[in-house]
Amino acid sequence: MGNPQTLKSHIQELKRKHRKLDDEISELEKHFNVMDQIRKLKTTKLWYKDEIYRLERQLYQMENGLNGF
């Protein structure tokens, strides 16, 4: 992730995937026999959320000339 524009694009893609998982989870919760699949999707969704946060922080630091300390 070398520049702010690349980072912004990556963040947007992660947000899109995060929202898509939300929709999939909502649909699967209508069925009772898919709990393992729901758990896996929720774990992946949480990973996206964490990664979005980390990358947005990195982007903020890059755009504001901060080194993270």
Is pLDDT at 29 greater than 70 in this prediction?
yes
Q: pTM of this prediction?
A: 0.59
- pLDDT-based confidence at residue 31 (cuts at 50, 70, 90): confident
CA geometry: angle 57, 58, 62, nearest 5 deg: 120
For residue 23, CA distances in Å to 29, 59, 60 come to: 10, 27, 29
Average pLDDT over residues 39-55: 94
Average pLDDT over residues 7-35: 87
